[in-house]
Amino acid sequence: MLKTRIIPVLYLMNGLIVRSEGFREFKVIGNPINQLERLNDWLADELVYIDITRDGDYDLRRDDMKLKGADDVIGILRQISKSAFMPLTFGGRIKSIEDVDSFIHNGADKVLINSQAYHQPGLVTEVAEKYGSQAMVVGIDVHREGDGHAMYVDQGRTRVDDDPLAYARQAEERGAGEIMLNSIDRDGSAEGYDTDIISAMAAAVRIPVIACGGVGTFEHFRPGIDKGHASAVAAGNIFHFTENAYKRAKKQLHRRGYNVRYPNDI
């Protein structure tokens, strides 16, 4: 049987790995290249890197942070793909098919496109036709509003009127191979997944849904699987701030009878 994937998400800002909270507060926690060894030790099912550098920020910050500039993300990808023999998804700041070409040609297996999939829906189809649906992950950011959920684009800054479920179905029709669903209000909250929207979305589409946002303890993965019916459960912060978090999360799920990949090396 297909395993439920446990996916570490790494947020990149100006070429560094950061912790994200509510899409607004960020704290630098490491250098992606230095973390490579750790990533391999994790024996992760998959890695998702999201560049959340604000548009225009690169030039402002690069001097004081001694970074090489916007091309860094491609450089990071190139190095990672040399020694990480697992699926790699890169996203954030993708505006055009040329951006996608650059990620795929440098070792990404999939691209994650969020805002631009909304502003330019044809891009989803273009990517799917060029590289296959499996390479096209559409990101959807939601924020709880009363009993429902509103959808946001532009890194959580712009609220749009679209229903997230209807939008997800459209994305599927356009060629998306997976949906990565992130809850803005749960991001960095450590309150657990918003399983209401996850389960609604998993029911709304026939492509895999990756749940993200809110994991603060190992206990939080299970509701994403049981109640959310997500095909994959993703998290950011917990994997950085808890010692051996990835292995421990896997171990705990495995012990409880969950169908997760459990290599001997763990």
Partner 1 sequence: MIGVVSFGMGNIGSVCNALEHLGHTPLIASAPEDLDKADRIILPGVGAFPAAMTRLSTSGFLDALNDQVREKGKPVLGICLGMQLLAETGTEFGDCAGLGWISGRVEIIPRGSSDLRLPQIGWNELVLKDNAQLFANIEGDTSCYFVHSYQLLPTDPSDIVATVDYGGPVTAAVQRDHIFGAQFHPEKSARVGLAVLDNFAKV
User: Do residues 151 and 141 touch, judged by C-beta distance below 8 A?
Assistant: yes
131 binds partner 1 (CB under 8 A): yes
User: According to CB under 8 A, which one of 27, 38, 71, 83 is a site residue for partner 1?
Assistant: 83
Number of residues that bind partner 1 (CB under 8 A): 37
Q: Give residues 6-65 in contact with partner 1 (rule: CB under 8 A).
A: 43, 45-46
CA distance 38 to 251: 17
261 binds partner 1 (CB under 8 A): yes
CA distance 185 to 169: 23
Q: Using the minimum distance from each CB to partner 1, give the nearer residue, 13 or 176.
A: 176
Tell me if residue 73 falls in helix, strand or coil. Answer: helix
227 binds partner 1 (CB under 8 A): no
Give 177's Cβ-side CA count (13 Å radius). Answer: 17
125 binds partner 1 (CB under 8 A): no
Shortest distance, position 92 Cβ to partner 1, whole Å: 20
Shortest distance, position 33 Cβ to partner 1, whole Å: 16
Site stretch for partner 1 (CB under 8 A), options 19-27, 51-59, 77-85, 149-157: 77-85
177 binds partner 1 (CB under 8 A): yes
86 binds partner 1 (CB under 8 A): yes
105 binds partner 1 (CB under 8 A): yes
Give 247's Cβ-side CA count (13 Å radius). Answer: 12
207 binds partner 1 (CB under 8 A): yes
Site stretch for partner 1 (CB under 8 A), options 18-26, 98-106, 162-170, 240-248: 98-106
Q: Using the minimum distance from each CB to partner 1, give the nearer residue, 86 or 160.
A: 86
CA distance 209 to 201: 7
> Residue 4's Cα: distance from chain center in Å?
15
172 binds partner 1 (CB under 8 A): no
221 binds partner 1 (CB under 8 A): no
Shortest distance, position 73 Cβ to partner 1, whole Å: 16
DSSP symbols for 182-220? EETTTTTT-S---HHHHHHHHHH-SS-EEEES---SGGG
CB atoms within 10 A of CB 252: 15
The CA angle 200-202-203, to the nearest 5 degrees, is: 65
CA distance 166 to 140: 11
Site stretch for partner 1 (CB under 8 A), options 1-9, 62-70, 143-151, 152-160: 1-9
148 binds partner 1 (CB under 8 A): no
Tokens, residue 181? 């669903």
CB atoms within 10 A of CB 96: 12
Name the residues that contact partner 1, by CB under 8 A. Answer: 1-5, 43, 45-46, 81-83, 85-87, 104-109, 131-135, 177-178, 206-208, 231-232, 261-265
